[in-house]
């Protein structure tokens, strides 16, 4: 059977002290002399006392806890964002509760509900593939609990968000492929309902137009960007009468799997097909040839997102005044896309 929690009254009884003295000693109140503080803290350890910071903070009107709701966890980009969030929240004395939707709207709705009832002081969120609206965040808005969205957001809303210029990033990478002499540039992406992918598609289309290349619907593929889908896409490419001579993919892992599978089928990269990914994941430096990509600074995004939320909670700034923060991204050219010259970056 589970033993009942040790309370300050149990410690007080054992040491023949008042509960108030024990409480002050556990909180390192200077009004209690050092010897008594040590006796109390030593006894707390011996008896297995656990402080209830949640209840204490709740009495003060906050929990010093921030909810983080992401669309997946099996992502180098999300991992780096979480590292940035954790660094800033820890320094500010906040705990975080992480939940993920597994790219499903229903799970996102349930997690948002749970985080609301866990009384988080604020929420950081990135939306699932199929999220259609923000109705499930209404309880936060009505209660005045601040939310800041990152990466996957709804454009043209009044809610605070931290993103990169996905349009420009996609434009730059597509223009780079065009400058290598590529004429049939395929674009592999995820749901165009999400801002990150719709904006990258828009940048891809504009770069084609500006480089006097026609947009071909056959060269647009949308899927879930996982390993199985990459293998299926290779089969699709091999069956094409007129294959692409370049592929821009909005995910580095998918790009690496696709490239390896193409090579297994006798396709030379970049001679036959130039490849470019997105995110600058570590895998891009391991594959051969090394992968051209967009550096998407996840740690920086996590730090900026968390810092803005905490500044709002502490009254330093107002999220409404920093509605949209755009972080700079960068095209990194490596061997996988270079047909004309070697302009490689680490």
Q: Which residue has the tokens 């866990």?
A: 118
Identify whether residues 225 and 286 lie together within a single domain.
Answer: yes
CB-CB neighbours of 236 under 10 Å: 12
Q: Report if residue 238 sits inside a domain.
A: yes
Identify whether residues 69 and 141 lie together within a single domain.
Answer: yes
List, for the chain, all residue ranges whose pLDDT scores fall below the cut of 70.
1-3, 53-61, 321, 341-346
Residue 320 has a pLDDT of 74
For 138, the domain range is 63-163+298-327
Residue 319 has a pLDDT of 80
Identify whether residues 116 and 24 lie together within a single domain.
Answer: no
Residue 4 has a pLDDT of 81
- Say if CB 271 and CB 146 are below 8 A apart: no
Q: Report residue 173: phi and psi, to 5°.
A: -75, -35
Kind and range of the H or E run holding 144: none
Q: Report if residue 56 sits inside a domain.
A: no
Residue 343 has a pLDDT of 47
Identify whether residues 108 and 191 lie together within a single domain.
Answer: no
Domain count, the chain: 3
Identify whether residues 91 and 154 lie together within a single domain.
Answer: yes
Identify whether residues 149 and 176 lie together within a single domain.
Answer: no
The pair of three-digit structure tokens given for residue 152, joined into one six-digit string: 């996957």
Kind and range of the H or E run holding 182: none
Q: For 198-231, how does the pLDDT look when each residue is reduced to its tens digit (9 = 90+)? A: 999 999 999 999 999 999 999 999 998 999 999 9
- State how far the Cα of 232 lies from the Cα of 224, in Å rounded to an integer: 12
Identify whether residues 157 and 302 lie together within a single domain.
Answer: yes
Q: DSSP of 214-271, one letter per residue?
A: ---GGGEEE---SHHHHHHHHHHHHT-SS--SEEEES-HHHHHHHHHHHHHTT--TTT
Q: For 119-132, how does the pLDDT look when each residue is reduced to its tens digit (9 = 90+)? A: 999 999 999 999 99
Fill in the DSSP letter of residue 1: -
């Amino acid at each position: 059977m589970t033993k009942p929690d040790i309370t300050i009254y149990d410690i007080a009884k054992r040491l023949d002290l008042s509960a108030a003295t024990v409480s002050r000693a556990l909180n390192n109140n200077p009004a209690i002399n050092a010897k008594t503080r040590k006796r109390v803290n030593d006894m707390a350890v011996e008896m297995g006392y656990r402080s209830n910071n949640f209840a204490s903070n709740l009495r003060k009107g906050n929990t010093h806890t921030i909810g983080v709701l992401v669309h997946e966890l099996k992502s180098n980009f999300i991992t780096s964002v979480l590292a940035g969030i954790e660094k800033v929240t820890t320094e500010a004395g906040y705990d975080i509760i992480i939940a993920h939707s597994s790219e499903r709207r229903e799970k996102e709705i349930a997690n948002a509900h749970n985080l609301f009832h866990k009384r988080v002081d604020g929420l950081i969120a990135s939306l699932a593939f199929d999220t259609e609206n923000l109705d499930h965040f209404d309880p936060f808005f009505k209660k005045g609990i601040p939310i800041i969205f990152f990466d996957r957001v709804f454009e043209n809303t009044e809610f605070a968000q931290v993103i990169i210029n996905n349009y420009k990033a996609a434009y730059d990478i597509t223009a780079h492929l065009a400058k290598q002499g590529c004429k049939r540039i395929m674009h592999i992406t995820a749901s165009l309902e999400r801002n990150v992918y719709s904006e990258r598609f828009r940048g891809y289309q504009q770069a084609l137009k500006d480089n006097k290349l026609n947009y071909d619907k056959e060269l647009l593929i949308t899927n879930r960007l996982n390993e199985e889908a990459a293998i299926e896409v290779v089969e699709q490419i091999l069956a094409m009468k007129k294959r692409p001579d370049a592929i821009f993919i909005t995910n580095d892992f998918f790009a690496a799997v696709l490239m390896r599978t193409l090579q297994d089928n006798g396709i030379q990269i970049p001679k036959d097909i130039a490849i470019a990914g997105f995110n600058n994941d570590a895998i891009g430096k391991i594959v051969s040839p090394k992968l051209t990509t967009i550096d998407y600074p996840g740690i920086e995004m996590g730090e900026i997102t968390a810092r803005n939320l905490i500044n709002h909670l502490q009254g330093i700034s107002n999220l409404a005044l920093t509605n949209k923060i755009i972080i700079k991204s960068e095209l990194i050219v490596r061997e996988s896309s270079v047909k004309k010259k070697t302009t490689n970056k680490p």
